[in-house]
Amino acid sequence: MSRFAAPIAEQIWDMKYRLKEQDGTPIDATVEDSWRRIARALAEVEDKPSEWEEKFYHALEDFKYLPAGRITAGAGTGRAVTLFNCFVMGTIPDNMGGIFDMLKEAALTMQQGGGIGYDFSTIRPRGAEVKGVAADASGPLSFMDVWDAMCRTIMSAGSRRGAMMATMRCDHPDIENFITAKQDSARLRMFNLSVLVTDAFMEAVKADGPWDLKYDGKVYHTLNARDLWNKIMRATYDYAEPGVIFIDRINKMNNLNYVEQIAATNPCGEQPLPPYGACLLGSINLARLVTNPFEGNAALDPAKLDELVRLAVRMMDNVVDASRFPLEAQREEAQNKRRIGLGVTGLADALLMLGLRYGSEEAAAQTEAWMKLIARASYLASVDLAKEKGAFPLFDAEKYLNSGNMLQMDDDVREAIRKHGIRNALLTSIAPTGTISLYAGNVSSGIEPVFAYAYTRKVLQPDGSRTEEEVVDYAVQMWRDKFGDKPLPDYFVNAQTLAPMDHVRMQAAAQKWIDSSISKTINCPEDIPFEEFKSVYMEAWDTGCKGCTTYRPNDVTGSVLSVSEKEEKAPEVDQGAEVVYLTEPLDRPAALEGSTYKIKWPGSEHAIYITINDIVQGGHRRPFEVFINSKNMEHFAWTVALTRMVSAVFRRGGDVSFVVEELKAVFDPRGGAWMQGKYVPSILAAIGGVIERHMIATGFLEGEGMGLKSDPEAEKMIVGEAPRGKACPSCGSYAMRMVEGCMTCADCGHSKCG
């Protein structure tokens, strides 16, 4: 009997977590081998490794405890990788040497696969005086462009897809430009952006008062606070960025506010971290702990939860000692505070098994109760570890007990900490679990609602063909197994039907007992009025959330996921977004429509000419071939090769927009150039930009960085079929969706944030 509840679970394991040789030969023969590998690696730091290996294996077995993907893929492999998912980097100094030292640290961290977060508020604003060089500062956004280029370089070198978070304070003089930076779809594509919103700013917004933009004590500009708030809201309403981080609340509620100041988060926002802080993540699968599901006496087993949490805390604490770190400063930070982030997944499924409607007052109360059980168990487990192994080095009993979440902790837990200390300074966080939730049998992700009860995914086979298989939510499959074709009860709701305030209610309920933060997306309908949309963020502020991320589908952010109750037969040929899929290349017609473009690369004697010819199919133009010519003989070989390869790809049909992405991701180690006000990292990237602009002009692409021109029919989600979205850059399926703040493919698990 397979341990996997669904074919997609086994496929995710094989693609992402199964240990293999360099040539792809499996080393982990079964998922049990993967569990054993992880358990053994994390038990090696114990005095009695064999004893703890068995206990750790039991926790991992049947997907009850799910370490984050980096641990699952890397523990016990012997490879030079970090087991930490992401980092907040050091404070950026306001000088050129220090800035580029930070860039080097970021590159070294991303080289090992770590996502990174940075606060760019420390860099002086654009136009500020730079003493000693008779020049004006270029401002933080210009350096963010450099970070963006670095991330693309690391990604194009074959490492894990880069993910970065950039934050900026709401009182920085360049904040307005920061808010609108990604409205240029070709800029800062490797970044998520969030505004650090202070308590004083929120008070000024509510009072409709003035707001100073300042740096280093100097006021550069004063504007109306509500106008700035509306600018943030309008940007995220139209473009889904920037997010909002309530930074003063984060620092106030931090157990370590006596030794650290937080100004940034990891890329998905669930881990606010100090300089060189690291994310150590894992999730309890609540869907595996419910007894008698869908019955009147259904309940989550508190004894099993307590036991599992205690083992998870010990395993995660061991990761601090077992992991490599890209930088020594990161190792020291982790060792000094031993911060972990234990969270949950399968929450929505567990609520369904108890007959509770996600987003209801009853579901929120149950969520808060479960989170408190996890918090208590986590803190008491860490106290036991402190008795055995010692408290974290920066522990100070009185300061710790009078900081952050400790002020609301139960008296018995506080007394235990006062008496024995605590091993881990912070213990709880709710991380994105998109891929590991698929691996665990398609349980609902994190604390998100069920996205879709069932859909059909297309699976690419080795021979190039695609087969279809149904992907069913874990709780829905349990219902089917138990009740057959009996209709789902009314309390089964999904992300497409929930009101935004239901999302906020659930986030606020969970946040009360989470000492770090939560990665969650609040889905909003496309037609939500702007004033109502703004009230979502104000409600998040008023109810104690530490941040807010929304997703309103529109022409800019992505396809509209609408649910049609009408069963429709899928066409035999997928014409998604007017793209024709071919098994053989088309014959070349005698005449084609085309255009020729000229690139003059700075410093090069000769220009490059690019001719792109199109074929017309179904009344729409699509690229068919490209010719690249230059008088510079040094360019001859690669321009001929590029002409032949790109033309061959174009003639095969399908979604060829990836050609643009690949070319634009190429970076010349000798440096790029500024062209028409934008930094272009290489000649190949410039060629990619030309091809992209041609595709946009002919209607093949929606816009810069936006993918295929949308087809209204491709944007419908038929019940029982795959939600249609942008094409996945990894597998090509139209299954990209916003989950926990990241565009994620429902078919292969590919995530924008890694």
For residue 55, the domain's CATH number is 3.20.70.20
Return the amino acid letter for 37.
R
Q: Give the chain's domain count.
A: 3
Q: What's the pLDDT score for residue 465?
A: 62
Place of tokens 């937080």: 262
Q: What's the pLDDT score for residue 717?
A: 35
Q: Write out the E strands in 314-426.
A: 341-345
Domain boundary among 654, 678, 697: 697
**56: helix, strand or coil:** helix
The domain of 23 spans 1-85+279-521
Q: Are residues 53 and 102 in the same domain?
A: no
268 is catalytic: yes
Place of tokens 């300074």: 425
Catalytic residue among 86, 268, 524, 748: 268
**Angstrom distances, CA of residue 426 to CA of 240, 371, 416, 569, 618:** 30, 14, 16, 51, 58
Q: What burial letters (b/e) apply to 263-286, b meaning 16+ CB within 10 Å?
A: bbbbbbbbbbbbbbbbbbbbbbbb
**Angstrom distances, CA of residue 160 to CA of 115, 705, 751:** 9, 20, 11
Q: Is 716 a member of any domain?
A: no
Q: Is 572 a member of any domain?
A: no
Q: Are residues 299 and 175 in the same domain?
A: no
Contact 366, 351 (CB under 8 A): yes
Q: What's the pLDDT score for residue 121?
A: 98
Q: C-alpha angle with apex 243: 242 to 247, nearest 5 degrees? A: 120
Q: Are residues 367 and 233 in the same domain?
A: no
Q: Are residues 383 and 508 in the same domain?
A: yes
Calpha distance 667→674 (Å, rounded) = 13
Domain boundary among 469, 496, 521: 521
Q: Are residues 220 and 157 in the same domain?
A: yes
Q: Are residues 377 and 501 in the same domain?
A: yes
Q: Are residues 66 and 108 in the same domain?
A: no
Calpha distance 468→488 (Å, rounded) = 24
Q: Are residues 46 and 152 in the same domain?
A: no
Q: Is 314 a member of any domain?
A: yes
Q: Are residues 38 and 99 in the same domain?
A: no
Q: Are residues 164 and 112 in the same domain?
A: yes
Contact 36, 58 (CB under 8 A): no
Contact 278, 90 (CB under 8 A): no
**87: helix, strand or coil:** strand
Q: Are residues 147 and 108 in the same domain?
A: yes
Q: Are residues 40 and 136 in the same domain?
A: no
**Angstrom distances, CA of residue 492 to CA of 5, 260, 349, 356, 715:** 21, 43, 9, 8, 23
Q: What is the dihedral of CA 41, 47, 49, 50, to 10 degrees?
A: 180
Helix extents (H) in 61-130: 69-74, 96-111
Q: Is 252 a member of any domain?
A: no
Sorted by sequence, the CB contacts under 8 Å of residue 252 that are 6+ apart come out as: 404
95 is catalytic: no
Torsions phi, psi for 456 (to 5 deg): -100, 125
Q: List residues bridging with 615 in a β-sheet.
A: 622
Catalytic residue among 105, 241, 260, 270: 270
Q: Is 704 a member of any domain?
A: no
Q: Is 537 a member of any domain?
A: no
192 is catalytic: no
Catalytic residue among 266, 285, 494, 613: 266
The DSSP 8-state label assigned to residue 27 in this structure reads S
The pTM (predicted TM-score) of the whole model is 0.80
Sorted by sequence, the CB contacts under 8 Å of residue 203 that are 6+ apart come out as: 209
- Walking along the chain (754 residues) 10 residues at a time, the average pLDDT comes out as 85 92 91 98 96 98 96 91 90 94 91 86 94 84 92 59 88 98 86 96 98 97 98 95 97 97 94 95 97 97 97 98 94 98 98 98 98 98 98 98 96 98 98 91 95 80 70 95 95 90 97 96 93 97 96 71 35 34 55 86 83 80 87 81 86 77 79 78 89 87 63 37 52 64 70 62
Domain boundary among 213, 242, 271: 242
Calpha distance 661→668 (Å, rounded) = 16
Question: Can you give the C-alpha Rg of the chain in angstroms?
Answer: 26
Q: Is 196 a member of any domain?
A: yes
Q: Is 297 a member of any domain?
A: yes
**Angstrom distances, CA of residue 656 to CA of 57, 162, 236, 466, 700:** 44, 22, 29, 18, 10
